[in-house]
């Protein structure tokens, strides 16, 4: 119903640091505008108190003025100050006019949540300190006159109103905080995904491959051997030279997808760099890995990849206890080198 009141500013999307400020400014102006409008009407219609109605009418115009100006400019900093000053002035006016009766002081507790949220730590502290200083002063003056405090029905309403305002404000804070955390969590997941994905092919990149290999190595034992394959496209340079780099990229993308389809679900396929790919085969002996690599080499040779007939050479190695990460991949590289020397389109174990 009140959607027209809350303008979405394109410069403040929901993950922008000022997004929730724009919301609180709009909420505060909605409350102050309604408050002044109501009091103006009551003072005219019920009490015929036109001087008070004039005062409330001025407040109404002031509140609407800030609202219209904020909608037009989207200036959060100035609107934050305007709203904080208006809310603080209203509260202090009430506290001083009520001569510091206890129920009126309760309103002052609304200032810190406003001031800190809209103005930040430094000015929030300043405005809150100023407000509480005025409250202390008012109470001190009251002490001098020895005026006894009293509570009437109005006082009770005041306490209830401030309590409700407190709950709403803290709900607002919690929403802003959890929204920020959720956005952060989504961003973190995206960043993590970017950090471990090869941009061209969408496969795991070298960093992710190495961390996965370290994890898999910790699980290796006699029943769970681990083998790796290093695959390289034969004469890939020709595709680039003949058809251009973009076509070469397209071929790499399609080939990466094909490799993933051809591998078993449990195999980890990654782009090592350039036109080289690595496959980690957990719980796979050298013999089994050789069979798998041969099957894949044959499949690739039979298929047309993005309009090109391709072949691959593969080096295969099985982890032995004396291996480090580098020596294991190094041995697969030796196998690949031999496969290339053997005339390519072949698989060699090392």
Ligand X SMILES: Nc1nc2c(ncn2[C@@H]2O[C@H](COP(=O)(O)OP(=O)(O)OP(=O)(O)O)[C@@H](O)[C@H]2O)c(=O)[nH]1
List interacting residues with ligand X (CB under 6 A): 200, 232-237, 240, 245, 248-249, 252, 274-275, 340, 344
Output 173 or 337, the one with its CB closest to ligand X. 337
Q: Which residue has the tokens 């027209």?
A: 4
State the nearest-atom distance from the C-beta of 232 to ligand X, in Å: 5
How far out from the chain centre does Cα 314 lie? 41
Residue number with CB closer to ligand X (200 or 309): 200
Q: Where are the alpha helices (DSSP H) in 197-284?
A: 206-217, 236-243, 245-262
- Alpha carbons within 13 angstroms on the beta-carbon side of residue 16 total 13
| Cβ 344 to ligand X shortest distance, Å | 6
Report the alpha-carbon distance of residue 93 to residue 113 in Å, rounded.
Answer: 18
CB of 311 to ligand X, least distance (A): 9
The candidate with the shortest Cα–Cα distance to 124, out of 136, 133, 111, is 111
**Which lies closer to ligand X via its Cβ, residue 21 or residue 308?**
308
Alpha-carbon distance 158 to 333, whole Å? 79
What whole-number distance in Å separates Cα of residue 78 and Cα of residue 70?
A: 9
Which residue, judged by CB position, is nearest to ligand X in the bound state? 248
Distance of CA 175 to the CA centre of its chain: 14
Between 141 and 245, name the residue whose CB sits nearer to ligand X.
245
Q: Let me know: does 132 contact 107? Beta carbons within 8 Å.
A: no
Residue 281 parent element (H or E): strand 276-282
Distance of closest approach, residue 273 Cβ to ligand X, in angstroms: 7
Mark whether 275 is an active-site residue. Answer: yes
β-strands 304-305, 347-349 pairing = unpaired
User: Closer to ligand X at the Cβ: 234 or 333?
Assistant: 234
Closest distance to ligand X from the beta carbon of 278 (Å): 15
Retrieve residue 201's tokens. Answer: 């092919």
Judged by beta carbon, residue 283 or residue 345, the one nearer ligand X is 345
- Specify the residue, 53 or 239, whose C-beta has the smaller distance to ligand X: 239
- Write down the catalytic residue from 190, 207, 275, 276: 275
Residue length of the chain: 350
Q: Which of 299, 215, 210 is closest to 260 using CA atoms?
A: 299
Least separation, in Å, of the C-beta of 347 and ligand X?
14
DSSP classification of residue 221: B
Q: Is 174 helix (H, G, I), strand (E, B) or coil?
A: helix
3-state secondary structure 33-80: HHHHHHHHHHHHHCCCCHHHHHHHHHHHHHHHHHHHHHHHHCCHHHHH
Q: How far is the CB of 291 from ligand X (least distance, A)?
A: 23
- Closest to 115 measured CA to CA, from 128, 106, 129, 132: 128
Q: Do residues 173 and 185 touch, judged by C-beta distance below 8 A?
A: no
| Residue numbers annotated as active site | 275
């Amino acid at each position: 119903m009140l959607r027209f009141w809350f303008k979405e500013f394109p410069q403040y999307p929901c993950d922008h640091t000022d997004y929730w400020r724009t919301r609180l400014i709009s909420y505060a102006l909605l409350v102050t505008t309604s408050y002044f409008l109501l009091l103006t009407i009551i003072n005219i219609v019920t009490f015929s108190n036109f001087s008070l109605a004039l005062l409330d009418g001025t407040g109404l115009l002031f509140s609407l003025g800030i609202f219209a100006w904020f909608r037009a400019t989207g200036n959060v900093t100035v609107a934050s100050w305007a709203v904080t000053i208006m809310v603080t002035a209203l509260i202090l006016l009430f506290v001083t006019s009520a001569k510091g009766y206890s129920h009126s002081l309760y309103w002052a507790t609304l200032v810190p949540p406003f001031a800190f949220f809209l103005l930040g730590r430094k000015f929030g502290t300043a405005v809150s300190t100023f407000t509480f200083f005025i409250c202390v002063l008012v109470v001190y003056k009251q002490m001098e006159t020895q005026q006894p405090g009293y509570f009437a029905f109005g006082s009770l309403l005041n306490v209830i109103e401030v309590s409700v305002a407190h709950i709403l404000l803290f709900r607002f804070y919690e929403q802003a905080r959890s929204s920020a955390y959720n956005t952060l969590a989504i961003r973190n997941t995206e960043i993590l995904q970017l950090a471990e994905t090869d941009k061209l092919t969408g496969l795991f990149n070298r960093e992710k491959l190495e961390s996965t290999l370290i994890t898999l190595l910790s699980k290796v034992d006699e029943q769970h051997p681990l083998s790796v394959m290093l695959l390289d496209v034969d004469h890939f340079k020709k595709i680039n030279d003949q058809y251009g780099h973009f076509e070469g990229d397209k071929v790499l993308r399609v080939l990466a997808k094909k490799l993933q389809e051809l591998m078993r679900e449990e195999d980890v396929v990654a782009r090592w760099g350039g036109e080289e790919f690595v496959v980690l085969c957990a719980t796979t002996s050298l013999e089994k890995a050789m069979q798998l690599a041969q099957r894949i080499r044959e499949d690739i040779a039979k298929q047309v990849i993005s309009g090109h007939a391709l072949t691959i050479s593969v080096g295969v190695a099985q982890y032995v206890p004396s291996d480090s990460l580098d020596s294991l991949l190094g041995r697969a590289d030796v196998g690949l080198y031999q496969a290339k020397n053997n005339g390519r389109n072949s698989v060699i174990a090392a």
